[in-house]
Structures are given as structure tokens and as C-alpha cells.
Amino acid sequence: MQNPIRIGTDIVEFRQIAEETANDPDFVFNLLTKDEMKLYESLGAAERLGFLAGRYAAKEAVLKSISAKKALRYDEVEILPGRDGQPYVVYSMPVREILAREKLHFIEISIARSKNYAVATAVAGRDKR
């Protein structure tokens, strides 16, 4: 029987994201969805790097938790803030298809940042019935 809970974790150094954005002009566009881009553009310059690092770590954690590292692009995984500020995963059609295939019902996400790092953990699982 398949494990009812899966966990994915990722940590990224801000320096890595700064290098990616400097080396790849499309990095931000390939990472963020339209709604995430609006959030990014609303931030001051000092906050943008932390936002990108957090989103990158969160998307990596989600992809690991649903076993989809090679099946989805980053811009197919959308993470938005809820009313209470807690991030949540928007279930796009590609994400829904993988959840159905893997017999998973939910994904929860947590993102944290320090001065130089962002870390995220995603928990995917099945509802207890």
C-alpha cells in the first residue's frame, strides 16, 4: 500500500537565486505564474530576492512531495498567500492530474526565510476516510 503522507523539502541560498537571475534573463518568468509575478512586482527591490528564493524552494518541495520533478514546469505550480498569510498551492490542471495519478488529495506548504536562505516543506497526502 502506498504511504498516505509524502514530504518534500528544499533549501536554497539567496546567492544561488541571484546568480540564476543574472545568468538567465527568463528565470523569473519560468519560475513564476502570472499571479505570483504580480506579487513579485509589488515588492520592493530588497524583498524580491527573498520572495524568489522562497518560491523556488516551495516549488521544489511540492514537486518532490508529489513525485513530479520531471513532470511539471515551475510555472505550473502556483503558490499564493491565503487571507491569513499562510501559503497554499493552487491546483492547476497538471497538478490535479498528478494528484489523481498518485492517489493524493492535498498538498500543504510552509515557507521560511532567514537572512541568506529560504527553506520550504510540502506535505502531500490522502484524506483519512
Q: How many CB atoms lie within 10 A of CB 78?
A: 20
**CB-CB contact of 53 with 17 (8 Å):** yes
Which residues form the domain of 64? Answer: 5-125
Number of domains forming the structure of the chain: 1
| Average pLDDT of the residues in 91-118 | 94
Q: What is the CATH number of the domain that holds 57?
A: 3.90.470.20
pTM for this model (two decimals): 0.93
Please report where in the chains the cell 514530504 appears, as a residue: 7
| pLDDT tens, residue by residue, 45-60 | 889 999 999 999 999 9
Query: Which pLDDT score, from 0 to 100, does residue 128 have?
Result: 59
What are the two backbone dihedrals, phi and then psi, of residue 78, each rounded to the nearest 5 degrees?
A: -110, 130
Residue 106: all three cell numbers together: 492535498
For 12, half-sphere exposure in the C-beta direction (CA atoms, 13 angstrom radius) is: 24
Question: Which residue type sits at 37?
Answer: M
